[in-house]
Amino acid sequence: MVRSRILSDRMFTLNRQGRAAFAVTGQGHEAAQVGSAYAITPGTDWVLPYYRDVGVMVALGMKPYDILLGLFAKADDPASGGRQMPCHWSWPAMRVVTRSSVIAANLPHAAGIAYASKLRGLSEATIVYFGEGATSEGDFHEALNFAAIHQLPVVFFCENNGYAISESQAKQMSVMHVADRAKGYGIEGKTVDGNDALTVYQTTRWSLDECRRGLGPKLIEAKTYRLSPHTSSDDDRRYRPRSELEEWIKKDPIDRLRKRLLTEGALTEDADRQIRLDAQREIDEAATAAEGAPDPAPESALRHVFYEEA
Amino acid sequence: MALRTYLDAIHDALWEEMERLPAMIILGEDIQEGGVFRATDGMLDRFGPQRVLDTPLAESSIVGVSIGMAQNGCVPVAEIQFADFAYPAFNQLISEAARWRYRSNGGWGCPIVVRIPFGAGIRGALYHSQSIEALLAHVPGLKVVVPSTPYDAKGLLKAAIRDPDPVIYLEHKKAYRLLKEELPEGDYTVPIGPAQLRRDGADLTVIAFGLMVHECMEAAEALAQEGIDATVLDVRTLAPLDRDAILDAARRTGKVLIVYEDNLTGGIGAEIAAIIAEHAFNDLDAPIRRLAAPDIPAMPFNGGMEDYCLPSKEKIAVAMRDLAAY
């Protein structure tokens, strides 16, 4: 969670310094992202994160250097070789499936992957991440409906931060909780405190286990808050009161977990400080190295439109 | 050899590939009862409901779940019931399937087939007659095929199922039972890409695809009685277009007429004409001509109105005579 936060802050800073064209991150979502990702069996379960999910990717083992290669659109960017905007993930070895910028378009993909898992009798599950704004899209409905009809092993994980760019939840839906929508599909939906990493972990673990036992799909709504603007091109001061942000800063999921671990004796002040120092150093070095990495050859823009013989 | 209709050929290709590929899935609306055109007749009983899948009435997810299935070892062949209903799936086709390999820098592939019945001449009115090939052939990353014969219907569908990239398979509804042909027994494919010369003649070239190939052939036979000898080129793959075959025919005859039943503006004919104008201008003896439906949103239900709008062998013959006399 600390590495994800420091990396995300750094991506914004690099944009503000004019060194990166664009940044999109999810500061404040770390408990939802990292807590849920720890329930995933890496390399076995299928993962379809959205562009805010720096924490999911860090927890799955993607190195900050690789994420920063994407920020700088470098040739070795593992997601797209410098083609996509940053944080549009793809990592075949870890079954992280390519995504577009089109909100909710990958929810039917998750359902299709899970259908194949079931057809082939594989004990793997799929988790797909999205924000509450995505639940307004037709593909959200179509995917949940399809997954429910076939009882597919897929977890729909909503990081509800209350805003779809500038639009508050009240402009997206007339229900209090995204999880309430699960009833309409005949599946189970749970709303959890998305700033409590351990609760998120437990709920996601249970949901993925249920999927593996043939008792899916599930809808999880993790209530959280975005402590950063939507992207580096957004000014959230135009639509969010400062007082609201300050209230949520007090509920910072990293501080909250740290306090709990300190109280329970699972973490010392020294160890906590060391974690931050190590992360800072790692990301300092990664940023320098990634910025200096080679760009893709311009003419490589013509490749991979279709399958290429090896 | 066996006498098979265009529809039989599609059915046979699906059946034989389902037998061959245990992870192949066919999915769409009303698939299990055989489909509204009967292309999947009998398949539920043979292959079961998991592989012969009735989907909810939701075109975006028909394509969307197909993309997902293809990531996880399955071979999905989706059916959109009518081309006119494909638009809700366009985001999945264009922004997802077509860009899938490119945006992942070759990391992921998207081997799906989407079968889409299209075309007019069956009194299908505005929403059961549309031609959507130009909208899809424009999109890099998609392959678009349009068989015009039972032989090609079977061979191109098998080639599409075995292709590593997304293929849009447009089947002409009026051709389903109208066209019959002796087909060889067993497995064969027709490669995606090459056009097929249907008739060889020195005086002019007519380029068409789908059912219009047959209207052009009849017109060409009629003109042969008048001493005008036409080449008919069937561009059975629209993406990628067979530029060599198009240019070869244009250069040999010096006169080209392009026929399609979509509306004129921005249709496939525009691209074919541009290819010829760019690369064979000096070999032309006449302006390139297009014969297509007028720029109306779609075909009217009234028979007289539809016939007025659709290209026919009579209208094609008139255009060919004009062009030959130029």
* pLDDT (tens digit per residue) in A263-303: 999 999 999 999 999 999 999 999 999 999 999 999 999 99
> Using CA of residue B21, residue B23, residue B28, residue B34, what is the dihedral sign?
positive
Locate the chain A residue with the closest alpha carbon to B71.
Answer: A113
| CB of B130 closer than 8 Å to CB of B118 | yes
Q: What is the mean pLDDT of residues B72-101?
A: 98
| CB of B257 closer than 8 Å to CB of B289 | yes
- Interchain pair B58, A80: CB under 8 A: no
pLDDT band at B56 (very low <50, low <70, confident <90, very high): very high
Helix, coil or strand: residue A111: helix
Residues of A in contact with B60 (CB under 8 A): 108, 138-139, 142
| Interacting residues of B43 by C-beta distance below 8 A, sequence separation 6+ | B14, B15, B18, B26, B31, B34, B52
Contacting A residues, span 92-111, partner chain B, CB-CB under 8 Å: 92, 97-98, 100, 102, 105-111
Mean pLDDT score of chain A? 97
H-type alpha helices, B21-161: 43-47, 59-71, 90, 100-103, 133-137, 150-161
- Interchain pair A83, B102: CB under 8 A: yes
CATH topology match: B2-183 vs B196-325: yes
Report the CATH superfamily, name and number, of domain A25-293.
Thiamin diphosphate (ThDP)-binding fold, Pyr/PP domains (3.40.50.970)
E strand residue ranges, chain A: 46-48, 126-131, 154-160, 163-164, 167-168, 188-193, 218-223
pLDDT higher than 90, residue B53:
yes
Which H or E element spans position B53?
strand B52-54
Helix, coil or strand: residue A197: helix
Burial-class residue B113 by CB neighbours within 10 Å (0-12, 13-18, 19+): buried
Q: State both tokens at A138.
A: 């037709």
| CB of A161 closer than 8 Å to CB of A28 | yes
CA A101, A99, A170 angle in degrees (round to 5)? 50
- Interchain pair B92, A304: CB under 8 A: no
Contacting B residues, span 76-135, partner chain A, CB-CB under 8 Å: 76, 88, 91-92, 95-96, 99-109
pLDDT band at A182 (very low <50, low <70, confident <90, very high): very high
B184 at interface of A, judged by CB pairs closer than 8 A: no
The pLDDT of residue A138: 98
Determine which one of A3, A230, A240, A258 is catalytic: A230
CA–CA gap between residue B77 and residue B28 (Å, rounded) = 9
CATH number corresponding to B2-183: 3.40.50.970
- Interchain pair B23, A90: CB under 8 A: no
> Which of B65, B67, B85 has the highest number of chain A CBs within 10 A, making it the mutation to test binding with A?
B65
Q: Which of A78, A113, A138 sits opposite B72 (nearest CB)?
A: A113
Task: For strands B230-234 and B237-239, give the pairing.
Answer: unpaired
Q: What is the mean pLDDT of residues A29-40?
A: 98
| Interacting residues of B148 by C-beta distance below 8 A, sequence separation 6+ | B172, B175, B208, B209, B210, B211, B212, B213, B214, B234, B236
Q: What is the CA radius of gyration of chain B?
A: 20
The model carries a pTM of 0.97
CA–CA gap between residue B297 and residue B79 (Å, rounded) = 24
pLDDT higher than 90, residue A310:
no
Q: What is the ipTM of this complex?
A: 0.96
Provide the residue type at A220 as one letter: I
pLDDT band at B274 (very low <50, low <70, confident <90, very high): very high
Q: Read off the pLDDT of residues B108-142 as tens digits, 9 standing for 90 and up.
A: 999 999 999 999 999 999 999 999 999 999 999 99
Told to judge if A237 belongs to the known catalytic residues of this protein, a careful annotator would answer no
> Which of B51, B55, B63, B72 has the highest number of chain A CBs within 10 A, making it the mutation to test binding with A?
B72
| CB of A210 closer than 8 Å to CB of A218 | yes
Residues of A in contact with B74 (CB under 8 A): 115-116, 119-120
To 10 degrees, what angle do helices A64-71 and A269-291 make?
A: 40
- Interchain pair A108, B105: CB under 8 A: no
pLDDT band at B202 (very low <50, low <70, confident <90, very high): very high
- Interchain pair A90, B107: CB under 8 A: yes
Q: Read off the pLDDT of residues B17-40 as tens digits, 9 standing for 90 and up.
A: 999 999 999 999 999 999 999 999
Q: Distance of alpha carbon A263 from its chain centroid, rounded?
A: 28
Locate the chain B residue with the closest alpha carbon to A74.
Answer: B105
Q: Which of B56, B103, B164 sits opposite A146 (nearest CB)?
A: B56
Going from N- to C-terminal start, the domains of chain B cover 2-183, 196-325
Going from N- to C-terminal start, the domains of chain A cover 25-293
Give, in order, the Cα–Cα distances in Å from A157 to each of A47, A66, A125, A133, B298: 11, 24, 13, 13, 42
The pLDDT of residue B136: 98
Nearest by Cα to A211 from A129, A140, A285, A126: A126
Q: State both tokens at B302.
A: 């009234």
Determine which one of B11, B128, B172, B214 is catalytic: B128
Residues of B in contact with A74 (CB under 8 A): none
Residues of B in contact with A139 (CB under 8 A): 60-61, 64, 91
Cβ neighbours around A97 below 10 Å, total: 27
Q: Read off the pLDDT of residues A195-248 as tens digits, 9 standing for 90 and up.
A: 999 999 999 999 999 999 999 999 999 999 999 999 999 999 999 999 999 999
B189 at interface of A, judged by CB pairs closer than 8 A: no
Respond yes or no on whether the N-terminal peptide bond of residue B311 is cis (omega within 30° of 0): no
pLDDT band at A262 (very low <50, low <70, confident <90, very high): very high
Residues of A in contact with B140 (CB under 8 A): 305
Tokens 């292709």, located at residue: B163
CA–CA gap between residue B68 and residue A116 (Å, rounded) = 8
Percent of chain B with pLDDT over 90: 99
The pLDDT of residue A133: 97
CATH number corresponding to B196-325: 3.40.50.920
Q: State both tokens at B190.
A: 């027709």
> Using CA of residue B63, residue B66, residue B71, residue B75, what is the dihedral sign?
negative
Told to judge if B138 belongs to the known catalytic residues of this protein, a careful annotator would answer no
Determine which one of A239, A256, A260, A276 is catalytic: A239
Q: What is the mean pLDDT of residues A4-23?
A: 96
CA–CA gap between residue B273 and residue A283 (Å, rounded) = 55
